[in-house]
Structure 1
């Protein structure tokens, strides 16, 4: 399956945008989990 260059770039920017959002969300979840774990230990 071949995409023209413009479609490829649009698709790539869409993928990187979604990946950044997913990473940001995962980081937030990890921070929340760490805070919960730390508060339980006290």
Structure 2
């Protein structure tokens, strides 16, 4: 039982970390992609 809880928690932590990293990556892409378009570049 304890092992199952540990594995379940571990998966949730990894999923949360993946989502957080994906959001950061998307933010970086938008930051570098949008300004040139707005400036007409």
- Asked if these proteins are the same fold (TM beyond 0.5), I'd say yes
Q: Tell me, yes or no, if structure 1 residue 40 matches structure 2 residue 36.
A: yes
Which ranges in structure 1 are unaligned for 5 or more consecutive residues? none
RMSD (Å), alpha carbons: 0.8
In the other structure, the counterpart of 2:15 is 19
Q: Which runs of 4+ in 1 moved over 6 A?
A: none
Which ranges in structure 2 are unaligned for 5 or more consecutive residues? none
Separation in structure 1 between the aligned mates of residue 8 and residue 27 of structure 2, nearest angstrom:
28
